[in-house]
Amino acid sequence: MALLYVVYVLIGLSVFFALAGVVGMLRMPDAFCRMQSSTNIATLGVLGVIIGGIIYAFAFLHNGEMGVKLIVLGVFYVVTVPISGHAIAKGAYHHGVRPEKDMVCDQYGEDLEK
Amino acid sequence: MDTLLFFAICFAVLALCLVIRLVKGPSVADRAVAADSIDILSDMALVLYALYSQRAAFLDIALVTAILGFIGQTLIAKYLEGRL
Amino acid sequence: MKKATFPDILSTAILLYCFWLLITGQLVSLCKGDPNVQVLIYGVVISLGVAVFSSRFFIHESPFYLYNPVKWVMMLVYVVCVFCIELIKANLDVAFRALNPALPVHPGIVKVPVDLKSEYGQSMLANSITLTPGTITMDIAEENGQTYYYIHWINVTTQDHKAAGDAIKGRLEKGVGRIWK
């Protein structure tokens, strides 16, 4: 029964990180900082649910199929989230999205102008 | 058992909050990132509902939604970069 | 683009077949001892067919480098001991930054030198950096034989290339360097 509370704590932690990511996405000053907060949702906000779900499926439901599918889903998220994040950051910069508030330094823009 | 349903509702409510950013977002990139985050959060709600109702078929739907979200995000990024 | 050779196709097909076993649920049936033989044979045919077309996008260096249990143990150690700790630390940092009423962000894009030579190692390091909240790799460039990443960093403390690199990816790069040269 203690294992059930471990599952609940993992899922609750991931709700907390998802909440922090959503609040960050609504509050952050410019587009790139919002992308950082969305990474917050996509890493620990997802992994807590996936790990908790794997424990729950194997220990309480005794359902191997669900556990294996959850493992596939977790691996898929870990592999694809950085790729799409990198692609959208580069695409937004080349499209001309610039922060309204000044950045501390922009060494990418300096090198692109050369 | 009902705790899982409660957490699923939490994720759904968070996904609804992000619609504000989807409507308001000044640039295209903001909207794309917000849409992807809504996709991920509703996916997590779906996973929790699958665990609650003990049906593995919902996990297949979650996997397909994740794949479609990834492809859409990469496509929008490529379009923004001007290479499509 | 180079032509696909037979070892490339074989190594891609093995990976695709493992994914097929996981997704169709046959791995669980194999463990129980009553696999569906038809599904297994379909998987062989489909994964070989897909591998013929896709292996040239997937394999750039020696094809069987990663089919090595020593590398698997190193990768597990990297993911569990190095990467997870960095991930949790960065997640807590960004979460409390977002929940803080004063919103203390100092965003900027810094240029960071990277010493890894292998293409897979470079992409794995770039993905690890992007996966930790607070840093996003934006582009990879090469100047005079030295590889550079452009990284968007949410809390710029230094603008020096070397010092910024140590702060962002010092431990991650050591961990990846043990897997790929």
Over residues C98-118, the pLDDT tens digits come to: 888 888 888 888 888 888 888
Interface mutation target, options A9, A95, A98, A100, chain B, most CBs of B under 10 Å: A95
Interface mutation target, options C130, C144, C146, C162, chain A, most CBs of A under 10 Å: C130
List the single residue in A21, A85, A106 with the smallest CB-CB distance to C136: A85
Query: A21 vs B60, C123, C128, C170, CA distance in Å?
Result: 26, 25, 19, 26
Q: Average pLDDT per run of 10 along chain C, which is 181 residues long?
A: 77 89 81 83 91 84 78 88 89 89 85 85 89 88 86 84 83 84 70
For position B13, what pLDDT does the model report? 93
The predicted model scores a pTM of 0.88
Query: Residue C56: phi, psi to the nearest 5?
Result: -75, -20
For residue A104, pLDDT beyond 80: no
Q: State which residue of chain C sits closest to A75, comparing Cα positions.
A: C19
Distance (Å, whole) CA C59 – CA C16:
13
How close, in Å, is residue C133 to chain A by CA atoms? 5
Residues of B in contact with A65 (CB under 8 A): 56
For residue A2, pLDDT beyond 70: yes
How deeply is A101 buried, as exposed, middle or buried, from its count of CB atoms within 10 A (0-12, 13-18, 19+)? Answer: exposed
For position C153, what pLDDT does the model report? 87
Taking an 8 Å cut-off on Cβ atoms, the answer to whether A86 and C105 are in contact is no
Q: Which residues pair with C153 in a beta bridge?
A: C108, C135
Q: Which residues pair with C6 in a beta bridge?
A: none
In this prediction, residues B45-68 reach a mean pLDDT of 90
Quick: pLDDT tens for B5-42.
999 999 999 999 999 989 987 888 889 999 999 999 99
How close, in Å, is residue C74 to chain A by CA atoms? 18
Phi-psi region of A26 (alpha: psi -120 to 50; beta: other; left: phi over 0): alpha
Taking an 8 Å cut-off on Cβ atoms, the answer to whether C137 and A86 are in contact is yes
Q: State which residue of chain A sits closest to B22, comparing Cα positions.
A: A26
Q: What single string gives the DSSP state of each residue in C107-125? A: -EEEEEEE---SHHHHHHH
User: Can you tell me whether residue A89 is helix, strand or coil?
Assistant: helix
Could you tell me the residue ranges of all domains in chain C? 6-58, 69-179
Taking an 8 Å cut-off on Cβ atoms, the answer to whether C136 and A68 are in contact is no
Instruction: List chains touching B (3+ CB pairs under 8 A).
Output: A
Quick: pLDDT tens for A20-34.
999 988 988 888 888
**Interface residue A97 vs chain C (CB under 8 A):** no
Q: Which domain range does residue B68 map to? A: 2-81
Q: Are A67 and A58 in contact (CB under 8 A)?
A: yes
What is the number of structural domains in chain B? 1
**Interface residue A33 vs chain C (CB under 8 A):** yes
ipTM given for this complex: 0.89
Q: Are A98 and A108 in contact (CB under 8 A)?
A: no
Q: Note the helical H segments in C78-181.
A: 84-99, 119-131, 161-179
For position C161, what pLDDT does the model report? 81
Distance (Å, whole) CA A19 – CA B34:
14
Distance (Å, whole) CA C163 – CA B17:
39
Could you tell me the residue ranges of all domains in chain A? 2-99
Q: Which two tokens stand for residue A41?
A: 């949702």
For position C118, what pLDDT does the model report? 83
For position B6, what pLDDT does the model report? 92
Distance (Å, whole) CA C4 – CA A94:
33
